[in-house]
C-alpha cells in the first residue's frame, strides 16, 4: 500500500505537501509541487524550508489560514501566488490540519492543482466579453443615433412633401387656372412621385418604430371582411390607373379578428400595393379571407410578374428589392415586406409566400380570431 501511495505521489502532477502549521516549515513535498513552484530542485531539497521562502504569497493566504484554523479543512479554494521567478500562478487548494501522533504538533497537509492555464483562458474570456460589451454598447448608441436621425429627417420630409403634393394636385385639377396637356402630365408625375416618397417615409418611420421595439399594438376586434373591402376600395383607383382589376373576396360569415387597426392597414396596404405594383395591365389582384386552422387567413393573390424561387428566402429581408428589372427600376426601398412580416408576427400570426415566375404570386398571412 505504501508503495502505491509513493507511486501516486511521484506520478501526479498535483502538488502534495505537508508543513508545520505554526511556522510553515515543509516536512514533505512531491515533484508536482516543485513543478508548480517553478523550482529547479528535487522534492527532498524543499524539506526544512519555510513556505514563505519558496512562494510569494498574495492576498489569499490569510483567508486560507483563517478557514483552516476555523474548520480544520478547506476544499476547492482557488488562490493566486507568485513563484520566486515572478510568474503568476493560480492553484486549486485542498488541505486539512492533523496532529502529529508523537509530538502533538499541528501539521497541515495539502494538495494543490495548477489551474493557471484555465485562469488565463478565463481572463481572456473576460476581456473578450468586456470588448464585446463595449462594442454592443457602441452599436446600441449608433443605432439610437440612426433611429433618431431617420425619425427627424422623415418628419422634416413630411410637411414640404404634403405641400408639394397638395399644390400639384390642386393645379392638376385646374383649380388655380387652365393648364395645358404637358403641364398636366408633369403635375401628375409630381403627385405620383410625392406619393411614392410619402410611402417611403411612412415605411421608414414604421420600421424605425418596430426596430426600436416601440410599436405599441392597440388590439381590438375588427371585421376582417370590412377591413379588406376598405383597403381594396382605397387602392382601386391606383389599380384602375394601371388597368389592373382588384377584388375583395372574404368568406361569407367570416368573424372578427384580433388586431391593431393601424397595423392591419399597413400590412394589407403593403401586400395589395405590391400585388398591384408587380402586375401589368389586364391582370387581376384578388384578396381572400377565410378561416383555417383556428385562425383567419388572408391571401393576396396576383397574376403578375411572379418571383424566381431562389429569391423567396430573402423576400422578407429589409431593403430586398428583388431581381426583376421592374423592381430595380421602379420605386420602393424594399421595406414593405419586412414591415409586413414583423407586424404579422407581433400579432401572433405568420406569413408565407407562394410564387411562380411569370405566373403570379400569393402572399398569405394569418391573424388570431377575436374571442367570441
Of 255 and 323, the one with the shorter C-beta distance to ligand ATP is: 323
Q: ∠ CA(366), CA(370), CA(371), 5° rounding?
A: 135
Please give the grid coordinates belonging to residue 162. Answer: 404634403
Is residue 255 near ligand ATP by the rule CB under 6 A? no
Among 274, 344, 365, 367, interactor with ligand ATP by CB under 6 A? 274
Out of Mg ion, ligand ATP, none, which partner does residue 315 contact, by CB within 5 to 8 A per kind? ligand ATP
Nearest approach, Cβ of residue 173 and Mg ion (Å): 28
Nearest approach, Cβ of residue 353 and Mg ion (Å): 13
Among 30, 154, 208, 274, interactor with Mg ion by CB under 5 A? 274
Is residue 305 near ligand ATP by the rule CB under 6 A? yes
The residue range among 15-23, 312-320, 331-339, 362-370 that interacts with Mg ion, by the rule CB under 5 A, is: 331-339
CB within 8 A of 140, min separation 6: which ones?
none
Q: Round to whole Å and give the CA distance between 32 and 42.
A: 11
The residue range among 75-83, 157-165, 183-191, 317-325 that interacts with ligand ATP, by the rule CB under 6 A, is: 317-325
Is residue 305 near Mg ion by the rule CB under 5 A? no
Of 24 and 304, the one with the shorter C-beta distance to ligand ATP is: 304
The residue range among 100-108, 110-118, 129-137, 314-322 that interacts with ligand ATP, by the rule CB under 6 A, is: 314-322
Nearest approach, Cβ of residue 251 and Mg ion (Å): 26
Out of Mg ion, ligand ATP, none, which partner does residue 79 contact, by CB within 5 to 8 A per kind? none
Bridge partner residues of 89 (DSSP): 81
Inter-residue contact 277 to 300 (CB < 8 Å): no
The residue range among 32-40, 187-195, 291-299, 304-312 that interacts with ligand ATP, by the rule CB under 6 A, is: 304-312
The residue range among 11-19, 57-65, 75-83, 270-278 that interacts with ligand ATP, by the rule CB under 6 A, is: 270-278
Is residue 283 near ligand ATP by the rule CB under 6 A? no
| Structure letter (DSSP) for residue 25 | B
Inter-residue contact 346 to 263 (CB < 8 Å): yes
Q: Round to whole Å and give the CA distance between 236 and 232.
A: 6
Nearest approach, Cβ of residue 188 and ligand ATP (Å): 20
Closest CA to 112 of 12, 210, 257, 39: 12
**Residue pointed to by grid coordinates 489551474:** 115
Inter-residue contact 364 to 316 (CB < 8 Å): no
Q: Round to whole Å and give the CA distance between 189 and 168.
A: 9
The closest residue (CB) to Mg ion is 336
| Structure letter (DSSP) for residue 251 | P
Among 203, 208, 269, 342, interactor with ligand ATP by CB under 6 A? 203
- Angle of the 336-346 helix axis to the 261-277 helix axis, nearest 10: 150
The residue range among 34-42, 62-70, 182-190, 320-328 that interacts with ligand ATP, by the rule CB under 6 A, is: 320-328
Q: Round to whole Å and give the CA distance between 49 and 94.
A: 21
The residue range among 166-174, 186-194, 329-337, 353-361 that interacts with Mg ion, by the rule CB under 5 A, is: 329-337
Out of Mg ion, ligand ATP, none, which partner does residue 335 contact, by CB within 5 to 8 A per kind? ligand ATP
The end-to-end CA distance of the chain, in Å, is: 81
Nearest approach, Cβ of residue 135 and Mg ion (Å): 33
Nearest approach, Cβ of residue 186 and ligand ATP (Å): 23
Binding interface with ligand ATP (CB under 6 A): 199, 203, 270, 274-275, 278, 302, 304-305, 307, 315, 320-322, 324, 327, 332-338, 361
Binding interface with Mg ion (CB under 5 A): 274, 336
Amino acid at each position: 500500500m505504501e508503495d502505491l501511495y509513493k507511486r501516486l505521489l511521484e506520478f501526479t502532477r498535483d502538488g502534495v505537501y505537508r508543513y508545520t502549521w505554526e511556522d510553515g516549515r515543509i516536512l514533505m513535498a512531491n515533484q508536482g509541487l516543485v513543478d508548480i513552484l517553478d523550482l529547479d530542485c528535487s522534492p527532498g531539497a524543499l524539506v526544512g524550508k519555510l513556505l514563505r521562502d519558496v512562494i510569494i504569497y498574495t492576498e489569499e493566504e490569510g483567508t486560507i489560514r483563517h478557514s483552516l484554523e476555523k474548520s480544520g479543512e478547506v476544499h476547492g479554494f482557488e488562490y493566486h501566488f507568485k513563484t520566486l521567478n515572478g510568474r503568476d500562478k493560480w492553484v486549486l487548494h485542498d488541505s486539512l490540519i492533523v496532529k502529529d501522533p508523537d509530538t502533538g504538533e499541528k501539521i497541515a497537509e495539502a494538495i494543490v492543482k495548477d489551474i493557471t492555464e484555465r485562469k488565463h483562458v478565463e481572463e481572456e474570456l473576460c476581456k473578450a466579453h468586456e470588448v464585446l460589451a463595449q462594442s454592443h454598447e457602441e452599436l446600441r448608441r449608433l443605432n439610437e443615433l440612426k433611429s433618431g436621425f431617420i425619425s427627424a429627417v422623415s418628419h422634416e420630409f413630411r410637411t414640404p412633401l404634403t405641400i408639394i403634393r397638395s399644390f400639384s394636385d390642386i393645379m392638376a385639377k385646374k383649380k388655380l387656372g387652365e393648364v395645358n396637356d404637358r403641364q398636366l402630365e408633369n403635375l401628375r408625375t409630381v403627385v405620383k412621385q410625392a406619393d411614392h416618397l410619402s410611402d417611403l417615409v411612412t415605411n421608414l418611420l414604421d420600421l424605425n418604430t418596430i426596430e426600436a421595439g416601440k410599436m405599441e399594438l392597440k388590439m381590438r376586434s375588427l371585421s376582417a371582411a370590412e377591413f379588406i373591402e376598405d383597403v381594396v376600395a382605397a387602392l382601386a383607383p391606383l389599380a384602375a390607373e394601371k388597368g389592373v382589376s382588384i377584388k375583395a373576396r372574404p368568406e361569407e360569415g367570416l368573424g372578427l379578428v384580433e388586431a391593431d387597426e393601424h397595423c392591419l392597414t399597413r400590412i394589407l396596404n403593403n401586400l395589395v400595393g405590391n400585388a398591384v405594383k408587380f402586375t401589368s395591365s389586364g391582370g387581376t389582384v384578388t384578396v381572400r379571407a377565410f378561416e383555417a386552422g383556428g385562425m383567419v387567413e388572408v391571401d393576396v393573390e396576383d397574376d403578375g410578374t411572379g418571383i424566381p424561387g431562389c429569391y423567396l428566402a430573402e423576400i422578407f429581408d429589409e431593403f430586398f428589392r428583388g431581381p426583376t428589372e421592374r423592381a430595380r427600376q421602379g420605386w420602393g426601398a424594399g421595406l414593405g415586406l419586412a414591415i409586413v412580416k414583423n407586424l404579422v408576427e407581433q400579432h401572433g400570426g405568420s406569413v408565407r409566400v407562394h410564387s411562380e415566375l411569370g405566373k403570379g404570386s400569393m402572399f398569405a398571412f394569418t391573424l388570431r380570431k377575436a374571442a367570441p
